[in-house]
Amino acid sequence: MVDSAVWPQGYRCAVVLTVDYNDIHGILTQAPEVAGRDKTLSVWRYGTQRGVERLLGLFKELGVSSTWFVPGIVAEENPGHIRAIQADGHEIACAGYRHQNYDTLDLAAQSDDIAKGCETLAELTGQRPAGFRIPTGNGAPGFIEALKDQGIRWSSSWRGDDLPFAHPTAPEVIELPLHYELEDEPYFAFNLSPAVPPAQSRIASYSHTLGNLQMDFAGFHRFGLCYVLRLHPEIIATPGRIGVLRELIEGIQQHDDVWIATGAEVAQWWADTAAPVAEDHPASVYERHYRDYVS
């Protein structure tokens, strides 16, 4: 059964379209050995060359809002794209500054990266970002509190649920959880040489991938949940795959009871209306046991 009080009146579920715009910095974090290999890097530059504009074109045509997670260095290198994303009314959220692996950083370094990323985006857009996504890796103990201190009011980095929740140690920060099956990268990420991802060469069937995403939406809609789609311009915005995304969104739009909103809009609604996170919620259990372990 769906709790009708979860979402704004008339809506059964929420859909948040998110885009990770990393240019080549994402693959350089994942596979540093490709530095200087222009042919390989061109696979990821495709997002900047063609993907961003193609995604913006589709979103404008369908009249949907989205949230873009952008590292500060990518924004500095591509200010025209940042202006275009902002001009079309989409939310720009932070992904740090250099797109680093947070597993290699202590809390102070993570805080510095968040701060620099936020400051860079604020200088370019005139507005400090309210949302954040860890580029890769995990936050150190105290990470959520560091987000709060930088003015971040919502995150989309954790998993563990299919509804938003307030972080137990910093309830001012709302989490919009992710799921691997709602991302384009596990289906389509591919480079021949060097192999990316290692030993997992694949380009999934477009029709089967669309079917998976549609079935997941049907489940999220049935149970009244928050469907967070995670996209990458270099992956989903090729001439063929953009059709997969078009068909998916058009199908979602056929439902009058679906709230397609930015991450900030959903997080604000949740902060204003939802009950505090329960003691037996995975996030609460994790905080208690993890803090005991590291203390």
Tens digit of pLDDT for each residue in 223-274? Answer: 999 999 999 999 999 999 999 999 999 999 999 999 999 999 999 999 999 7
Strand partners, 93: 69
Angle (CA) 5 160 28, round 5° = 125
Angle (CA) 69 72 75, round 5° = 80
Task: Determine the 3-state secondary structure of 92 from DSSP.
Answer: strand
- pLDDT, averaged across the chain: 91
Q: Answer with the residue of higher pLDDT: 5 or 101.
A: 101
| Predicted structure pTM score | 0.92
What end-to-end distance do the CA atoms of the chain give, in Å?
41
Domains by residue range for the chain, with CATH: 13-294 (3.20.20.370)
pLDDT digits (tens, 9 = 90+) for 88-128: 999 999 999 999 999 999 999 999 999 999 999 999 999 99
- The pLDDT confidence band at residue 156, using thresholds 50, 70 and 90, is very high
pLDDT digits (tens, 9 = 90+) for 177-190: 999 999 999 999 88
What percent of the chain clears pLDDT 70, i.e. is strictly above it? 92
